[in-house]
Chains A and B, each alone.
Chain A
Amino acid sequence: MLSKKQRLQIFLDRLAAASAASSEGEARSLLERVLNQVEDEFSGIPFNPLLPTSDGRMYSPRDDNRRAVPGQPLLIRYRSAAHNTYFGQNGSIRIETLEKDVILDKPGADGRRTEDLNG
């Protein structure tokens, strides 16, 4: 089994390489699918998102952590402990650390990234 850091990098690499999504919903599904596949292959921890505390496995953004992005109606943000994940209506995805380091910046199917989506 691999470390969290190793699994995160594989997840980011695979997500970046995957075909672009064309909507927010598709982008969320894509991220969830890729992350679950990586965790199934390399974490050794069974999928159990209902556990109240950490089991050491990474999970995709949850609806109860959804936030609008002020001034950017085409973007949605999902907060987690150490990251913000942005989904664009065009299927783009951006993942940042809380220190604003961008670790993934994937364009949508129309070629635009989240930063290109303006009102």
Chain B
Amino acid sequence: MKGIFCLCNMEQQVDKLKALIKDRLPKCNVEVDAPDRGSGNWWIDIRAGKRRVAVEYQPGKGFGVFGRKAGYGEGPIEIYRTPEVAVRRLVQLFRSPNSEARVLTLKSLRELYDCSQVELAQKVGVKQSAISRFEHRSEVKVGTLAAAVKALGGELEVRARFPDSDVAICVKD
């Protein structure tokens, strides 16, 4: 019974994503490529004209969004745990023709989590003008970025990958 519940739950997550896309991106065509096995991954292909975004739902992990030039067998660029956040990101990608799954600006991240500059400024403890300047800078302090991400409910992680290691870097102002 547990296996059946899990399968239904996965299908519910994908169905919810489809329903949200239909509501928020009504001009997009959605095709679902379902797995044979209950524990397999689901693919959701969203198309609008020549634009296509592939989403892979991995049970237990979430919705992976792929870049336009995903290589053979390459993993997702971004992962979203819930269909609601995944669709907010898809809306960003389809409404801005030049946007690409990979580069998420602080502005895009703030909008993804439905937060205005004023709200973020209040949470971080700065003026709204400071957030505006921050979003337009090409270089930012890691500590400032960490504070902004924390205020949005997340945690900033900086990693360094070498041929022989993969390590997290301590983020301190």
A positions within 8 Å CB-CB of B: 4, 7-8, 11, 35, 44, 46, 48, 51-62, 64-68, 79-83, 95, 98
> A59 vs B76: C-alpha distance in the bound complex, in angstroms?
12
The stretch that binds A, out of B17-25, B63-71, B89-97, B143-151, is B63-71
A56 neighbours in B (Cβ, 8 Å): 71, 74
User: Does B78 contact A53, Cβ atoms closer than 8 Å?
Assistant: yes
Selected contact of B79 from candidates A35, A53, A65, A95, CB within 8 Å: A53
A60 neighbours in B (Cβ, 8 Å): 73
Chain A binding surface, main DSSP class? loop
B positions within 8 Å CB-CB of A: 33, 35-37, 39-41, 43, 45, 52, 54, 56, 58, 61, 64, 66-67, 69-79, 161, 163-164, 166
User: Does B164 contact A46, Cβ atoms closer than 8 Å?
Assistant: yes
Selected contact of B36 from candidates A7, A35, A51, A66, CB within 8 Å: A66
Question: 8 more A-B contacts (CB under 8 A) besides A82-B72, A98-B52?
Answer: A4-B74, A51-B75, A52-B75, A53-B75, A79-B43, A80-B73, A81-B70, A82-B54
Once A52-B79, A55-B161, A64-B58 are accepted as A-B contacts, the answer to whether A11 and B72 lie under 8 Å apart by CB is: yes
Task: State the Cβ distance, B70 to closest chain A Cβ, in Å.
Answer: 4
User: Does B45 contact A98, Cβ atoms closer than 8 Å?
Assistant: yes
> A98 vs B74: C-alpha distance in the bound complex, in angstroms?
15
- Which residue in chain B gives the minimum CB-CB distance to A61? B73
B41 neighbours in A (Cβ, 8 Å): 62, 64-65, 79
Once A59-B75, A66-B40 are accepted as A-B contacts, the answer to whether A82 and B70 lie under 8 Å apart by CB is: yes
User: Does A48 contact B166, Cβ atoms closer than 8 Å?
Assistant: yes
A11 neighbours in B (Cβ, 8 Å): 72
18 A-B contacts (beta carbon < 8 Å): A7-B71, A8-B71, A52-B61, A52-B76, A53-B76, A54-B67, A54-B70, A54-B75, A54-B77, A56-B71, A58-B72, A64-B41, A67-B33, A80-B74, A81-B54, A81-B74, A81-B76, A82-B71
- Which residue in chain A gives the minimum CB-CB distance to B75? A54
Once A46-B164, A54-B76, A81-B54 are accepted as A-B contacts, the answer to whether A4 and B69 lie under 8 Å apart by CB is: yes
User: Does A81 contact B36, Cβ atoms closer than 8 Å?
Assistant: no
User: Does A55 contact B73, Cβ atoms closer than 8 Å?
Assistant: no
User: Does A81 contact B35, Cβ atoms closer than 8 Å?
Assistant: no
Which of B54, B71, B78, B163 has most chain A Cβ within 10 Å?
B71
Task: State the Cβ distance, A7 to closest chain B Cβ, in Å.
Answer: 8
> A51 vs B75: C-alpha distance in the bound complex, in angstroms?
8
